[in-house]
Amino acid sequence: MTRPQLKWGLASLAPMLLAAAPAFAADPKIPAADTGDTAWMLTSTALVLMMTIPGLALFYGGMVRKKNVLATLMQSFAITCIVTIVWTVAGYSLAFTTGNAYIGDMSRFMLNGLAQHIVKGVDSGFILGPGSDGAAAQTIPESVYMMFQMTFAIITPALICGSFADRMKFSALCIFITMWSLVVYSPIAHWVWAPTGWVGNLGVLDFAGGTVVHINAGIAGLVTCLVLGKRVGYGTDNMAPYNVAYAVIGASLLWVGWFGFNAGSAVGSNGRAGMAMAVTQIATAAAALGWMFAEWISKGKPSVLGAASGAVAGLVAITPASGFVLPGGSIVIGVAAGVICFWSATSLKHMLGYDDSLDAFGVHCVGGIIGALLTGVFSYGPLSATDSSPAGSPGSLHQVMIQGIGVLTTLIYSGVMTYVLLMITKALVGLRVTEDEEREGLDLALHGEQIF
Amino acid sequence: MTRPQLKWGLASLAPMLLAAAPAFAADPKIPAADTGDTAWMLTSTALVLMMTIPGLALFYGGMVRKKNVLATLMQSFAITCIVTIVWTVAGYSLAFTTGNAYIGDMSRFMLNGLAQHIVKGVDSGFILGPGSDGAAAQTIPESVYMMFQMTFAIITPALICGSFADRMKFSALCIFITMWSLVVYSPIAHWVWAPTGWVGNLGVLDFAGGTVVHINAGIAGLVTCLVLGKRVGYGTDNMAPYNVAYAVIGASLLWVGWFGFNAGSAVGSNGRAGMAMAVTQIATAAAALGWMFAEWISKGKPSVLGAASGAVAGLVAITPASGFVLPGGSIVIGVAAGVICFWSATSLKHMLGYDDSLDAFGVHCVGGIIGALLTGVFSYGPLSATDSSPAGSPGSLHQVMIQGIGVLTTLIYSGVMTYVLLMITKALVGLRVTEDEEREGLDLALHGEQIF
Amino acid sequence: MTRPQLKWGLASLAPMLLAAAPAFAADPKIPAADTGDTAWMLTSTALVLMMTIPGLALFYGGMVRKKNVLATLMQSFAITCIVTIVWTVAGYSLAFTTGNAYIGDMSRFMLNGLAQHIVKGVDSGFILGPGSDGAAAQTIPESVYMMFQMTFAIITPALICGSFADRMKFSALCIFITMWSLVVYSPIAHWVWAPTGWVGNLGVLDFAGGTVVHINAGIAGLVTCLVLGKRVGYGTDNMAPYNVAYAVIGASLLWVGWFGFNAGSAVGSNGRAGMAMAVTQIATAAAALGWMFAEWISKGKPSVLGAASGAVAGLVAITPASGFVLPGGSIVIGVAAGVICFWSATSLKHMLGYDDSLDAFGVHCVGGIIGALLTGVFSYGPLSATDSSPAGSPGSLHQVMIQGIGVLTTLIYSGVMTYVLLMITKALVGLRVTEDEEREGLDLALHGEQIF
Amino acid sequence: MKLIMAIIKPFKLDDVREALTPLGVQGLTVSEVKGFGRQKGQTEIYRGAEYHVNFLPKVKIEVVVPSDLADQVIEAIAKAAQTGKIGDGKIFVLDIERAVRIRTGEVDGEAL
Amino acid sequence: MKLIMAIIKPFKLDDVREALTPLGVQGLTVSEVKGFGRQKGQTEIYRGAEYHVNFLPKVKIEVVVPSDLADQVIEAIAKAAQTGKIGDGKIFVLDIERAVRIRTGEVDGEAL
Amino acid sequence: MKLIMAIIKPFKLDDVREALTPLGVQGLTVSEVKGFGRQKGQTEIYRGAEYHVNFLPKVKIEVVVPSDLADQVIEAIAKAAQTGKIGDGKIFVLDIERAVRIRTGEVDGEAL
Ligand SMILES: Nc1ncnc2c1ncn2[C@@H]1O[C@H](COP(=O)(O)OP(=O)(O)O)[C@@H](O)[C@H]1O
Ligand SMILES: Nc1ncnc2c1ncn2[C@@H]1O[C@H](COP(=O)(O)OP(=O)(O)O)[C@@H](O)[C@H]1O
Ligand SMILES: Nc1ncnc2c1ncn2[C@@H]1O[C@H](COP(=O)(O)OP(=O)(O)O)[C@@H](O)[C@H]1O
């Protein structure tokens, strides 16, 4: 999601909560929708949905033990459904309407007004953040933009599941995710991507969601697995994955779908999308090779799951950078992500002793931080240049520090709020299945089904 | 597939069978092809093909027993191949040329003339139903339109397979599907979507195929499973699915691919496509949650297969409505489909005692009917408005009744013709495998292969 | 990849190696990027990547024994990563810059200059082969073109793996593929598709890679399996595939992704892309049915793996023809490919006694040759016509002979160079695992993992 | 005590289990096995390589019963598992010296 | 020599193996089986059809030991496999007449 | 009658089966098992967690033969299954009291 203007300063704090934003005289003119841009955004939306189901579902489902495969698939599937409704009712409105610097307003409650420009079946483009200084004309219908953003809102909480696989109650998951989407995801998305958002207006660069999606989900995962405690038998039982082939299919679909995630964040079918796709591919390959060789050297064999994990780490790390960097920088980002995430998922985790089952923290949070900071190093001016900022935001120490603020903000807000929401959920229905249910496996215990 | 004009009255009955339709003076001018519209329709075609292979193949393949997995995949795969040839030879011509109100003509026999506008590798748009009152200019090459429609012609008979899984002869399937595609699918597609078709001209709204695809396939499935009889061991043997994970992957790919099905039916990259995608997503999520909670409440556990089935039910129900309704209406359609299809697939089936193995009827026919009728309730005028009908077709009791006529027509025609074609097939090669083959499993008995 | 001009004669041999090609006065003007064309090419890139991971990975992974499934998936996955980096560093530059008739130059070393036209985040189209007689204006950003071509460079070596499955060292694979990509793939791609390439300038028609991709990979596969020798237990042990369902999913994703491969080779969202998609679908279906019925008649049962293999054979054969032929011709190409590849994969292989494990040669090389030659028969003038060649290249005996030259050239160059590179690899690390490792299975022996 | 080991056709498993309940058999153990015998398997075809499937899927039931119940159990299994077609399987009887119920430590007759 | 056949809960396998090592047991063979017994299974739901899962996953351990070691082995298994909850499983003892180590041709005591 | 139970390396199964045919053995039953023994398994690596695979895939053959055939059968199996490398497996012999062919009700010698 490219911010049309990168401004230094604080956003207007005009209280707009619950008020539909009128189209100010100062707003840019509503453009016609461009069929090419719209085509690519429709496609990107399909690709990003495919990342969660079946992509992430398989990636995670393949890494658990046989008795938990279906329950793990169910987590991604159910979150897709729950967040779709939450986003429709209020999430989109809170994230992407003008509102104030901290939260949107309720003018798109129940997607109210989404069809306002439709005449004889034809829709126009729309203005993002109407009435604000950063109001930006978009060349796609707002329905398409809402859908594209929905798929981001879906995958983010689904990523958290990696940390608490094999032991969380399904009822707890449903309640926790509903609250998390509204209380954690929507505000952070607003801060970073809405024209009025305070983090974006600080100058933090996050093209496709390094902070909003990955650091956010990763830290939430760490908190969750700490609160839940380790799996029964952790460290003694054999917890080898049931089917690494599923994990490889999942990682592959994540990779393919990520083209929609990153290149789609250009919100158009243009050179920026092309460059975002290229650096996504390159960084991912570099990270997979980085993890693979690191493992080959240190453990003697390059594992298949390692290569797949490295690819995911690379995808994560290039995400915030993808619209801003050139191929050379993307190789550095990729190798760094591959090697460091290998270390965090295999050594750091054991050193610190938390049981992040599928490394939601070790891959998504760590990879996200690497990417966010290196974006500040490698950002190439012409890619982020605009009329009002002809130099764009080229990499600099200053930019790295700004990126650091974005990272810290996310870590703190998401970490704290996740803890609070877990406590509320615990009070309501409890968080963890019984030891017997855990031993038996969540498939039978929670869903009454099993794989043969 | 949006009908460019919604007219009330009967179509011209001019006998055009087997005559190439000349471009009348009154026809709209052939427009240039729009690259954006074409891009989205090419993408949609790929997405809809993905729905059948591997989507539906896996959804069905995961629900049968181990000994029938490959044979079930083969059904979707072989139907894809057979219908491709049938559609090329005559199916497309019968469905989408001008012809008369009941059937197209043979002017596109063997896709004759499809390349007629190609000059130096460049194609123009084309006129659908040239020479008829409803002749509609399309901004994509006819080759793309033909391909997009082909993927619909493929998935429809593939859906039927769910009803007769585990017991039909493969030779019978090949013969039956070939005839069914020509005798049932092409005519109904013509009635509803060709500018001259009598059902469409009654004013029946079917955006993406609620009647043409789902009710049609669903009722054919019911007839087939009644004619074939129950599976050996039905009610006593354990018929638990071999691999619900396959079914979840399949349902996920159906979901993703359905964006091509529904949003692609706008035949362009525009606001209507965007809105169709949005309501598809919302209704599907609502239906999955509807089924899930209905099952959770009534059986004590939310099954994974249930959530996936609910999603499919939602996709089915929103199909006819997707280009006409707003998000609010789509939630209602979704919840209704989820809850009612849960009931039809789990209670109605047992009450009536037919063995519709994978609920082709319970999900596709019932879901299709719910969607078709509720389209008449929730249709939003501006989405279906045109120059000649500036009010569009807003929801009304009158519209619901018209929708009912569309439903009934399809139920009767498809039901009766399916029965006739089954009898012909039976006379030719027999319909059902022997009891020994059924016990041994179709994989080995029919295809000489097995899964390990 | 449509060559904008088909010329008869030899290309300029101006020594341009390592020199950035200046935009000559005679070059066409750099066009603006078209959003629709760009959208389709971005989508096609995603589709072609999906062909390799997870498509080909599953197609091959499903055909090996349980103990080698993960190692086989790893081959496709690792090749994707390795070739991405090789292509970024030098492969693209060697293949698609102006250079001379035999090889490109190093002006795009490390993708240097790829962002040269980006202004304020917006990119223009670009000139392929600037400074050469055949310089062709493209309406998509060069970053998109580079990415699209990268996915071809990835899948080609991945196809080879089918021939040596179950027995090659992973370290040998990494080294061999790196060299092969630079020494075999890039030059042949240059010969056929660069405006300066000598094979293309002979008039050889290869729309989407019959020679460059399939014949090339197929003959390399034959050489590799001859050099490596047969699998331990070949002819006595049961080598039945572990999971034909994976192979069917893989073939299905190959089919869907191939729309990007063939229709994407139009490098635009136009009528040629539409026609390419249509003939791809039709030929594939015809080939699958051809193989299926040939097997049904000769072996008594139509196997599922056979139908899937037939589809792949059809996809291969239509590839060179896809932008040039009409539906009628595509049926003939499909049936020929299905029946002949059935014979080569099941009879020829046994007659000649080589152990091409998964028929990389029998399907890709044989199918590619069928397609290349029949392209010369069925090519339809208006599809390949241009301003300078208003008749296009219609099918003729002359054209068939030219096609034969393209085939022979590829067979000889790829065959010889593959042998040389294998010998180098052997000298460096050895080619084959030990007999014990082979018996134990590559999953555990090479990667320390297994499927349960 | 006797260990009755029966190799039967898979789809007969539920019938056999039901036939044993009235005899007071409270437990048994089942494994999936492959059988080679007079019944000939199918031919599988993979890319033209034909593999004759010599081994057919069977189910092995192991049930330990007091010696005096053995005859009845054998008879019940034989009856329930019979289709009269080739490949119906075999019943073998072995002697068991001792049985222990892990949960309680009960032995022999008590343990079954 | 005796063949000790134990049916236990799957997650107890590693514990049992570790309990046997100190006794000098150098080898054993394990199979996945399904057990039917007093412990009742879960109900599975598929599209409304409910299947009661009568058979629960268990692990069968077969270990052949010299007769004088049998008691110790039985005791060790019983202890390691016990959870005290229903479904812990059984141990059966059979007599073995002969044992051969295929690699060397050694027999009986030597072969174990 | 004797029950010959052999634990062998999986890829030797076909060789063993072929070695038995000339002896007149008409049937046998095979299961996939996992063996623990002197032969040490591989180390598996999953995200840095290393699992030592103690259990190696083996195949268990069970074949019941008339007592007088037992020696020949044991010998044939031992020969066909031998590679000379560690992990080749074991052959155990048990006594069978009775055998029944389910299809026909034939018993003992006739039933095999
Ligand atoms: N001698 C034997 N030892 C062990 N198992 C046997 C023996 N003979 C047959 N079986 C088992 O019994 C099954 C059925 O035997 P088969 O000869 O096919 O038919 P039938 O049961 O009608 O005699 C075989 O598949 C095999 O599992
Ligand atoms: N008579 C028997 N013969 C063979 N196996 C038995 C027998 N009784 C029980 N088993 C096995 O032991 C397992 C545990 O028995 P169960 O009755 O559930 O509980 P418990 O071990 O506490 O008595 C069963 O699942 C079954 O595998
Ligand atoms: N005492 C035993 N009881 C049962 N099975 C055994 C025993 N000892 C070995 N086995 C089986 O035999 C296999 C081979 O034994 P192992 O000690 O590895 O090598 P070797 O056969 O060369 O002595 C083991 O994997 C195990 O399945």
CATH code of residue A128:
1.10.3430.10
Query: In this predicted structure, what is the pLDDT of residue D16?
Result: 96
Residue at C140 is within a domain? yes
For B238, the closest of E47, E48, E51 (CB atoms) is E51
Which of B205, B277, B249 is CA-nearest to residue B43? B277
Count of Cβ atoms closer than 10 Å to residue D106 Cβ: 14
Q: Is residue F51's pLDDT more than 90?
A: no
Distance CA C18, CA C4 (A): 25
List chain B residues with CB under 8 Å of C40: 35, 38-39, 42-43
List chain D residues with CB under 8 Å of C349: 48
pLDDT classification of A442: cutoffs 50, 70, 90: very high
pLDDT classification of A24: cutoffs 50, 70, 90: low
Structure tokens at A204: 């933090």
Neighbours of chain A (3+ CB pairs under 8 A): B, C, E, F
Examine chains A and D and say if they touch (3+ CB pairs below 8 A): no
Strands (E), E13-97: 28-36, 43-46, 49-52, 56-65, 90-95
CB contact under 8 A, D47 and C306: yes
Q: What is the residue with the minimal CA distance to atom 6 of ligand 3?
A: E28
Query: In this predicted structure, what is the pLDDT of residue B398?
Result: 96
Helices B142-164 & B35-50 angle (0-180, nearest 10): 20
Count of Cβ atoms closer than 10 Å to residue F12 Cβ: 22
End-to-end Cα distance, chain F: 10
- Substitution target from A346, A351, A357 for chain F, most F beta carbons within 10 A: A346
Q: Is residue A14's pLDDT more than 70?
A: no
Quote helix, strand, coil % in chain E, to nearest 5. 30, 40, 30
Q: Is residue A424's pLDDT more than 50?
A: yes
- How many CA atoms, within 13 angstroms, populate the side-chain half-sphere of residue A449? 32
Region of residue B267 (phi > 0: left; psi between -120 and 50: alpha; otherwise: beta) = left
Structure tokens at A423: 């406590």
Convert the pLDDT of each residue in D53-91 to its tens digit.
Answer: 788 999 999 999 999 999 999 999 999 999 999 999 999
pLDDT averaged over chain A? 93
Chain C closest-CA separation from residue D31 CA (Å): 17
Ligand 3: centre distance to CA E105 (Å): 13
Count of Cβ atoms closer than 10 Å to residue B387 Cβ: 8
Residue at B18 is within a domain? no
Residue B353: exposed, middle, or buried by beta-carbon count in 10 A (0-12, 13-18, 19+)?
exposed
Strand pairing report for A136-138 and B126-128: unpaired
For C345, the closest of D48, D50, D51 (CB atoms) is D48
Convert the pLDDT of each residue in A391-415 to its tens digit.
Answer: 888 999 999 999 999 999 999 999 9
Convert the pLDDT of each residue in A360-397 to its tens digit.
Answer: 999 999 999 999 999 999 999 888 887 778 888 899 99
Residue at B24 is within a domain? no
Structure tokens at C117: 């036209």
In chain E, pLDDT over 90 holds for what percent of residues?
79
Distance CA D100, CA E3 (A): 14
Residue at C312 is within a domain? yes
Q: Is residue A121's pLDDT more than 90?
A: no
List chain C residues with CB under 8 Å of D47: 63, 305-306, 309, 345-346, 359
CA distances from B243 to B78, B448, C63, D13 (A): 22, 21, 19, 21
CB contact under 8 A, B447 and C277: no
* Cβ < 6 A, ligand 1 pocket: D 7, 35-39, 56, 58, 86-90; F 27-29, 62-64, 101-103, 112
pLDDT, tens digit only, all 452 positions of chain C: 444 443 333 333 333 333 444 445 578 899 999 999 999 999 999 999 999 999 999 999 999 999 999 999 999 999 999 999 999 999 999 999 999 999 999 999 999 999 889 988 889 999 999 999 999 999 999 999 999 999 999 999 999 999 999 999 999 999 999 999 999 999 999 999 999 999 999 999 999 999 999 999 999 999 999 999 999 999 888 899 999 999 999 999 999 999 999 999 999 999 999 999 999 999 999 999 999 999 999 999 999 999 999 999 999 999 999 999 999 999 999 999 999 999 999 999 989 999 999 999 999 999 999 999 999 999 998 888 877 788 888 999 999 999 999 999 999 999 999 999 999 999 999 999 999 999 999 999 999 999 98
Segment holding C298, helix H or strand E: helix C271-299
CA distances from D7 to C60, D10, D13, D69, F67 (A): 36, 9, 10, 19, 20
Closest residue, chain B, to D45 (C-alpha): B448
CA pseudo-torsion sign C241, C244, C249, C253: positive
- Substitution target from D36, D44, D45 for chain C, most C beta carbons within 10 A: D45
- For the segment B240-252, the average pLDDT, to the nearest whole number, is 97
Atom of ligand 1 nearest to the CA of F104: 22
Interface of A with F (CB under 8 A): 63, 238-241, 295, 299, 301, 303, 305-306, 309, 342, 345-347, 349-350, 359
Which of B30, B242, B279 is CA-nearest to residue B135? B30
DSSP label at B122?
Answer: B
List chain B residues with CB under 8 Å of A38: 36, 40, 269-270, 273-274
CB contact under 8 A, D3 and E92: yes
For D45, the closest of B233, B439, B449 (CB atoms) is B449
Ligand 1: centre distance to CA F23 (Å): 16
Residue at B3 is within a domain? no
Q: Is the peptide bond before C15 cis (omega within 30 degrees of 0)?
A: no
| Three-state SS at E35 | strand
- Substitution target from D8, D36, D52, D53 for chain F, most F beta carbons within 10 A: D36
As for how many domains chain C has, the answer is 1
Largest CA distance in chain B: 67
For E3, the closest of F87, F88, F94 (CB atoms) is F94
Examine chains A and F and say if they touch (3+ CB pairs below 8 A): yes
Residue C113: exposed, middle, or buried by beta-carbon count in 10 A (0-12, 13-18, 19+)?
middle
Convert the pLDDT of each residue in B42-93 to its tens digit.
Answer: 999 999 999 999 999 999 999 999 999 999 999 999 999 999 999 999 999 9
**What is the secondary structure of A116-169 as a DSSP string?**
TT-BTTB---EEESTTSTT-EEESS-HHHHHHHHHHHHHHHHHHHHHHHTTTB-
Residue at C376 is within a domain? yes
Query: In this predicted structure, what is the pLDDT of residue C4?
Result: 42
Convert the pLDDT of each residue in E36-57 to its tens digit.
Answer: 998 888 777 788 677 777 889 9
* Ligand 3 in reach of F37 Cβ (< 6 A): yes
Query: In this predicted structure, what is the pLDDT of residue B10?
Result: 33
Closest residue, chain C, to F18 (C-alpha): C236
Distance CA A118, CA B380 (A): 11
Which of A193, A201, A186, A190 is CA-nearest to residue A12? A201
Residue at B253 is within a domain? yes
- For the segment A106-116, the average pLDDT, to the nearest whole number, is 95
For F45, the closest of C236, C439, C449 (CB atoms) is C449
Query: In this predicted structure, what is the pLDDT of residue B378?
Result: 97
Q: Any idea which residue has 């003509």 for tokens? A: B105
| Alpha-carbon dihedral C49, C50, C55, C58, rounded to 10 degrees | 90
Q: Is residue E109's pLDDT more than 70?
A: yes
Distance CA B400, CA B402 (A): 5
CA distances from C451 to A240, A305, B231, C442 (A): 10, 12, 33, 12
Largest CA distance in chain A: 67
Residue at C12 is within a domain? no
Residues paired with residue E51 on neighbouring β-strands, in sequence order: E44
CB contact under 8 A, E48 and B349: yes
Domain with A211, as residue range(s), is 33-446
pTM of the model: 0.95
Residue F53: exposed, middle, or buried by beta-carbon count in 10 A (0-12, 13-18, 19+)?
middle
